[in-house]
Amino acid sequence: MKRALFYRWLFFIIGLIVLALGFTMTIKGSKLGIGPWDVLHVGLYLNFGLTIGTWSVIAGFTIIAITAFFTRQVPQIGTFLNMVLVGIFIDIFNYLIPDIHTLVGQIIILSAGIVISGYGVGLYVSPKIGAGPRDSLMMLLVHKTGLSISVVRAGIEVGVALLGWLLGGPVGIGTIAVALLTGRIVQQSLPQFEKLLVILIGDKENQSHVLKV
CA distance 207 to 191: 8
CB of 114 closer than 8 Å to CB of 26: yes
* Arithmetic mean of pLDDT, 9-30: 89
Task: Using pLDDT thresholds of 50, 70 and 90, give the confidence band for residue 207.
Answer: very low
CB of 23 closer than 8 Å to CB of 35: yes
Output the CA–CA distances (angstroms, integers) from residue 26 to 18, 152, 174, in the order listed: 13, 21, 8
Where in the chain are the domains?
A: 1-211
Compare 153 and 99 and report the one with higher pLDDT: 99
Q: Is this structure's pTM higher than 0.85?
A: no
Output the CA–CA distances (angstroms, integers) from residue 2 to 86, 113, 195, 201, in the order listed: 26, 33, 19, 10
* Per-chain mean pLDDT for the chain: 82
What is the predicted pLDDT for the residue at 158? 83
Three-state DSSP class for residue 170? coil
**Nearest one of 161, 164, 167, 209 to 182, comparing CA atoms:** 161
Phi/psi at 172 (5° precision)? -165, -165
164-194 tens-digit pLDDT: 889 988 888 888 888 778 878 988 898 899 8
Half-sphere exposure of 57 (CA within 13 A, CB side): 15
Compare 198 and 134 and report the one with higher pLDDT: 198
What is the predicted pLDDT for the residue at 203? 54
Output the CA–CA distances (angstroms, integers) from residue 133 to 61, 67, 122, 126, in the order listed: 7, 8, 14, 15
Buried/exposed code over 176-203 (b: 16+ C-beta within 10 A; e: otherwise): bbbbebbbbbbbebbbebbeebbebbee
